[in-house]
Structure 1
């Protein structure tokens, strides 16, 4: 594993996307516990894409336009659903102590689906990991698995940092109803914008 791989992984993980937005929204709305669970769930959502890349399924997804579109638009629909749900649920952030008791599995399920329904992530692994594996390597499969899990660790660390940063300003938001509503709407619009970006994405 090279330093360039770590730096590249850190930059990619730090770029705001659906996982980062979801982690931030859970951290602000429900606190540290939910934010960390969301970060963990988004990281778990990487595993299927890593598995697809190392087993060659990514090449099939890349070659099949129909399969790519099906997975892509499933992700778009889910992001739009989250956007609408957050836009309509004005009171979800108001009772912070109760909100922090949201079931762990519910948060993880949403987080996993957010990353799972993004075909770009599979293709990213398919194109990204081989660049850091020496040519004529005798254990390419295990090297890809190792690098993939290193990327997951980096992703979790970055998302956890997002969570802790959001929690530090949480008290400034939850004590101000007008700001709270604005933040909720902002996250809803962010999910909608991310769904539009995914809808326009191509292979």
Structure 2
């Protein structure tokens, strides 16, 4: 359906874009450091799963509404910013709760997956990215355009899952370093709240 050179160009470009620091990457790092390796990996899987919505939306042309309608775009990015502010509030609220390094409870798998999916879906920048990025690699004379976009989207999702999972896992390896002092967990949560708040402001001011 598409040439090998196009496929490799897409993979190479995707790898570079995935590694550029953004809200999803920062969220994965934060979860990995504060809640452990498993939490980092689970969060990465949730964020990757959220990309399926943007892939389908781009393939079906729904993202065009977000790009061209000021009202839709404003509502979408406002919801995303509110969710980031909610995460900041939770970090501040639980900043003094100590983390147990030994015998700690298993991470809330369902909750972390849901957080990752929601954070990704409610980011209009991702929706616009998929709309503008995927079509550049489509061969319009080689079959169904939506199907090609979905296939490219699935490749991008797979790469994101692998890279983000690795980042979340190895970030968790630094957990003990950040938790050596009694106040380290509080500091990490405050830092996370600042990051989430800053990302919310950036999202709200995005045009």
- Do both proteins adopt the same fold according to a TM-score greater than 0.5, normalized to the shorter chain? yes
Question: What is the CA-CA distance between 1:178 and the residue it aligns to?
Answer: 2.9
Instruction: Quote the residue 1:195 is aligned against.
Output: 200
Deviations for 1:33-71, whole angstroms, at most 9, x for unmatched residues? 111110000101111111110001111222211111111
Which structure shows the bigger proportion of residues in helix conformation?
Answer: 1
2:132 paired with 1:122? no
Q: Does 1:66 align with 2:63?
A: no
1:9 and 2:20 matched: no
Structure 1 stretches of at least 4 aligned residues deviating more than 3 Å after TM superposition: 96-100
Deviations 1:99-137 (A, max 9, x none): 552321111111111011111211111110011112323
Q: Residue 133 in 1 paired to residue 138 in 2? A: yes
Alpha-carbon separation, structure 2, partners of 1:99 and 1:7: 39
C-alpha distance in 2, partners of 1:105/1:98? 20
- After TM superposition, the score normalised by the length of structure 1 is 0.92
Equivalent residues of 2:24, 2:119 under 8 A apart: yes
Contact 1:31-1:100 at 8 Å conserved across structures: no
Whole-angstrom CA distance in 1 between matches of 2:104 and 2:123: 28
Question: SS where residue 142 of structure 2 aligns?
Answer: coil
After TM superposition, the structure 1 stretch with the greater mean CA deviation from structure 2, 49-58 or 22-31, is 22-31
Partner of 1:175: 180
Give 1:34's match in structure 2, choosing from 30, 35, 39.
39
1:82-115 deviation per Cα after TM superposition (whole angstroms, max 9, x unaligned):
0121122113452245655232111111111101
RMSD: 1.7
**Other-structure match for 1:77:** 82
Larger displacement relative to structure 2 (8-17 or 133-142): 133-142
**Counterpart-to-counterpart distance in 2, 1:188 and 1:114:** 15
Q: Determine the C-alpha separation between the residues in 2 that align with 1:62 and 1:92.
A: 41
Q: How many pairs are equivalent?
A: 202
Q: Which 5+ residue runs of structure 2 have no aligned equivalent?
A: 1-5
Supply the distance in 2 between the matched residues of 1:99 and 1:49 (Cα, whole angstroms).
Answer: 35
Displacement, 1:188?
A: 1.3
Whole-Å separation in 1 of the counterparts to 2:144 and 2:42: 33
Classify the secondary structure of the residue corresponding to 2:183: helix
